[in-house]
Structure 1
Amino acid sequence: MAAVQTKALTEEVDLGDRAVWSVSSAKPGFGVAQLRDDSIHTLWQSEGPQPHFIRIEFPKKTAVSRISIFVDVTMDDSYTPCRLSIAVGSFKQDLQVIKLVELRNPRGWQDIKLGTEEEANEKDDDESEDEDDESIAIKGHLFQIAVLANHLNGKDTHIRAVKIFGPRTYVEHPFPSACTPVHKFYRIILSFSRVPEHL
């Protein structure tokens, strides 16, 4: 089995395991499990009329910065998506399309950024630092990838892998890290300053 690898960005974290995944239709043996198994040799194959959907639902509102999909026209020919939309919302009934994507003879990972630096710069200056950290991400409970059309007007679609990423959040601690020499020094000092329990 070939492991799925996409560009590792240090300021992002893979959110896929935090969500519930579903698809609009699937040929038996080519469903969500194959889409999420970290192999580009397995795939999701839809089985029904277009558009085809992948839905990624989080238990709470989650900031997502990028969705990456693995498609390859040389392997999948007319099953290869050529037009996608990305929608976000709280549930299926209020989904709003935020991106339309055209893929021309794609081979490999296709990165779809959900926010842009320009959008981040338009944020008000009085926002908190936490909001600034997530300003190039889109928040929602439900994210939907829709396959609107396939290469050579194919009916059903193949997608070999999907990854969903969000901004990495950092928690600042007032004390030094446990692995630093400074922290070890403080621990030694504190151990000598403790009062024995019998006094």
Structure 2
Amino acid sequence: MESVRIQSLLDKLAPSNALEPVSSKKIDRVVIDDSVPSATLNKMYINRYNNNGAGYSDEALKQHTTYYEGLSILERNSYLNISNLPLWKASSSKAGNPIENVLNNDCDTFWQSDGGQPHKVDIYFSKRVEIVLLAMYLSIRADESYTPKIIHVYVGHSPSDAVYYKTLEIRCINGWLGLTFEDNRDDGLLKCQFIRFVFPHNHENGKDTHLRAMRIYTPTGKKTMEDTMLGHSAVTDHMFPGFSIR
């Protein structure tokens, strides 16, 4: 009898005949492979390694060209780079290769872990932010067995309440990868205060991980009090697609 009364009350608050089923658009696992022909049409790949080298025969020069061309593409878009606002913390770092290296504009530097797997990178903001794009630079050609094969992404307000968001399966990548959040919210934003990247496996069974660059972007005009107080400027700004979470 009590259950009937409760159901009647619920029907008054939200009539069951007015409710529509909701299907999630979230894709839990995304395969990253910029070597397939269809990659040219995928917005996730900001730019790709040019195997013809644009006339360059030197491998290092090809890598540099790919890296800086990607940065240039990012800078031509309308998002605000907030990568310098949060605290970045790695589970371990090899001497001379700190996590801060992912924020500079130098293709030859990188973060390298120095410990047992899984490796982790935690990103702490002082308050909730609206993220429209996460961009990272990865290169199997340059890093070989140091290249992550699997990347798990967790988000929340702190490490204690972070929830699993997505897994990236890296099959082949030599360039900038852009992750967006259309599968998370209708406004295409990731609203959080904490992000964790977990690297459990590398290519070729490598043990330590390299991460060469990462950028975090918020929509244009979303400058916060932190921007003013800390005096951060957007060294690079802007673009990419493919994801989503509240």
133, 137, 149: which one aligns with 1:66? 133
**Counterpart check, 1:30 vs 2:82:** no
| Aligned residue pairs, count | 155
- 2:58 paired residue number: none
118, 125, 145: which one aligns with 1:78? 145
- TM-score w.r.t. the length of structure 1 is 0.71
8 Å CA contact retained: 2:81, 2:215 = yes
- 2:119 paired residue number: 52
- TM-score w.r.t. the length of structure 2 is 0.58
Structure 1 residues 34 and 10: alpha-carbon distance in aligned structure 2, compared to 1, 3 A threshold: closer
8 Å CA contact retained: 1:6, 1:109 = no
Task: Structure 2 unaligned segments of length 5 or more: list them.
Answer: 1-63, 224-246
Q: In angstroms, what is the RMSD of aligned CA positions?
A: 2.0
**Counterpart check, 1:90 vs 2:157:** yes
8 Å CA contact retained: 1:88, 1:142 = yes
- 2:73 paired residue number: 7
173, 176, 179: which one aligns with 1:109? 176
User: What is the one-letter code of the residue matched to 1:14?
Assistant: N
- 2:221 paired residue number: 169
User: What is the one-letter code of the residue matched to 1:27?
Assistant: K
- 1:190 paired residue number: none
| Structure label with greater radius of gyration | 1
Range with bigger deviation, 68-77 or 30-39: 30-39
- 1:159 paired residue number: 211
Task: Structure 1 unaligned segments of length 5 or more: list them.
Answer: 122-134, 172-199
Distance in 2 between residues matched to 1:161 and 1:46, nearest whole Å? 14
User: What is the one-letter code of the residue matched to 1:136?
Assistant: G
Instruction: Report runs of 4+ in structure 1 exceeding 2 Å deviation.
Output: 6-11, 118-121
